[in-house]
Amino acid sequence: MPDGLFRSPGSLLSEIFGFDAFRPGQEEIVDAVIQGRDTLAIMPTGGGKSLCYQLPALCREGVTVVISPLIALMRDQVRALKAVGVEAGALTSGNTEEETEEVFRAIDEGRLKLLYMAPERLAASGTRQLMQRLGVGLIAVDEAHCVSQWGHDFRPDYLRIGALRGDLGVPVAAFTATADAETQAEIVTRLFDGVQPETFLRGFDRPNIHLAFQPKDRPREQILGFAAARRGQSGIVYCGTRAKTEQIAEALRKDGHAAVSYHGGMDPEGRREVETRFSREDGLIVVATVAFGMGVDKPDIRWVAHADLPKSIEAYYQEIGRAGRDGAPAETMTLYGQDDIRLRRAQIDESAAPAERKDADHGRLNALLGLAEALGCRRQVLLGYFGEASEPCGHCDLCQSPPEVIDGTVAVQKVLSAALRTGESFGAGHLIDILTGSETEKVRQRGHDRLPTFGCGGEFSKTQWQGLIRQMMGRDLLRPDTERHGALYMTDAARPVLKGEVQVDLRKDVMSKTERRPAVKAMVSDEDAPLLSALKAKRRALAEAQQVPAYVIFPDRTLIEMAERRPQSLDEMARIGGVGAKKLASFGETFLEVIAGESERLHPARRKLAGRESGSLYDRLLAAQAQLSRGDCGTLKPLTCSAGQIAKLAEIRPRDLGTMAAILDERRAERFGPAFLDILAEA
């Protein structure tokens, strides 16, 4: 192949890749990368991201190193490039000895133009020397959202790419299909050292994909029926649990489909076998957790079904985007039910994320509920979330069968009023008890039976009110307060509604349906579920610190009883089943603080600093420690300083790591020292 340095991108596009023209948006990105400008490109799945770094690699001096998360994808791309005469190779754990030797031979002979590697290889001792030997001209980062610590595809070793960029002093081109504003900011911080790269945001519309949602009603039969209507077509079924992937795959096989399961609990060889079969076989159905799919490059996936609600609207978009990459028609169906929503809320509340991140995640889940229970065109709602305006598509399930809509403003105002009059301190169950006039002990104890809103909602049943509140959350009028065990609080969008300045339309079908009772009994009521999540999160933190199984702290049944009975004193806590004298002494106060909603009672060391400047400094150091307890990457073994150590830092205010290490020890100084010194320098 002639040297690409002397060829125009247009001629290479035609002669090497066989395309007569760029897809919309590709040419500007290719030009920026060729010119050596740091680039962030956010493009829809199937939008031709790979070409945007493969073509510049042929037009630039040196080797382009491609950081990619999946071995299967790397191998596929290397094969495709070699097939069109481009010298490419991959260094992966799946290489044969001969394949690795061939890569190094191409490097030594100066033939190699693209080298693919997984982010984990960046941690290997010889990688830095290899990079110096290569003569790297460009770093391309595929699936760049993996750098986000709170994303569902987080890969810790992606955090090493920024350091590699600094070592080599070469431009970086980062690509992703899904990145909200927070993730974009994190990509800029982690990969580009906080300097905004040239950013391209390409349209998110995939008009060939048909969008549809259905409430769960015998979900296994719904999945089987959807697959039966598409028999012989390749598809993916996403499930929330590993067990369900195996159960649905077995049911599909019994129904005559070629179907396999795929999840993170399988051995690597089993996963590779499924990936290989899916890439090569027509008509295979993969029933998988989200462990499958990132980087799947099969163009003719004709359908994607979700047996359970995805984690967020970004996850939904990415997962359905694996269908129809060839531009031909593809279909999707997403099932959802109350149990899904409860599970997703619990996962957010029990995560190790800071409070503001949890709140944002609840907002993302609200956006997905809004899509599930949309009033009109789903494509408009989905694209609107990503900031794109569009006309009704005429093609989604709601365009084809529009739902009946009612004016729900008065009912919504009743819910908001009940939330406001109770201090935004209670969950949906208690608010519904107030609206329906249910004289529960909790309602009477708090005097809520004397509120003007008590009994004002007799026009709807409790189930209908649940559907209405779910729609309100889908409009992001209400969110659970993660620091107050799921108490619902009004968002800014709710205030004009409460004042009567904005009308709220609701779907009548969601209001009129009587929901099927869940097949699996919930551990606690909806009202107590957020507190149970908070108790479990505290238990997990204690168990990790002590390196013991969670049940050693307290078994589930003890936490359930705590959530339901809500003890307010050590005497009351002692009457909870499973709380003996030793555990009461060890953990009683800690769990009472969670139940009381107190994030931190004053430690004696902190109390001594009350009223002094050192007190606020102590609080800032404590907050920084909480963020770094599992390291910058969020995956290290938990580590904390004692309250006495933090108090000493606040009083002495060391200005160098050596002094700090003398107070904390080397290990803690390494983990927390730089952040602590920044805080102390500002004091």
What is the C-alpha separation between 95 and 172, in angstroms, rounded?
26
Report d(CA 287, CA 240) in Å as an integer: 11
Chain segment 582-609, per-residue pLDDT in tens: 888 889 999 998 887 643 445 556 656 6
List Cα–Cα distances, 602 to 485, 572, 593, in angstroms. 21, 22, 11
**Of 623, 622, 565, whose CA–CA distance to 592 is shortest?**
565
Amino acid at 626: A
For the segment 629-682, what is each residue's pLDDT rounded down to a tens digit? 767 766 666 677 777 788 888 888 888 888 888 888 888 888 888 889 988 887
Q: What is the DSSP string of 265-292?
A: TS-HHHHHHHHHHHHH-SS-EEEE-TTS
Predicted pLDDT of residue 4: 39
pTM to 2 decimals? 0.61
Q: Please report, for residues 5, 437, 603, the alpha-carbon distance to residue 2 in angstroms, rounded to integers and kept in the order given.
A: 9, 81, 71
Can you tell me the distance from the alpha carbon of 525 to that of 532, in angstroms, rounded to the nearest whole number? 10
> In this predicted structure, what is the pLDDT of residue 454?
92
Higher-scoring residue by pLDDT: 478, 298: 478
SS3 state at 118: coil
Q: Which helix (H) or strand (E) holds 213?
A: strand 213-215
What's the pLDDT band for 514 if we cut at 50, 70, 90? very low
* Residue 683 pLDDT: 67
Q: Give the mean pLDDT of 486-490.
A: 85
Residue 606 has a pLDDT of 64
Taking only the tens place, the pLDDT of each residue in 430-460 is: 999 999 999 888 888 889 999 989 999 888 8
What confidence tier does 414 reach under pLDDT thresholds 50, 70, 90? very high
Q: What is the DSSP string of 36-92?
A: T--EEEE--TTS-TTHHHHHHHHHSSSEEEEE-S-HHHHHHHHHHHHHTT--EEEE-
Which residues make Cβ contacts (< 8 Å) with residue 521, sequence separation at least 6? none
What is the rounded average pLDDT for all residues in the chain? 84
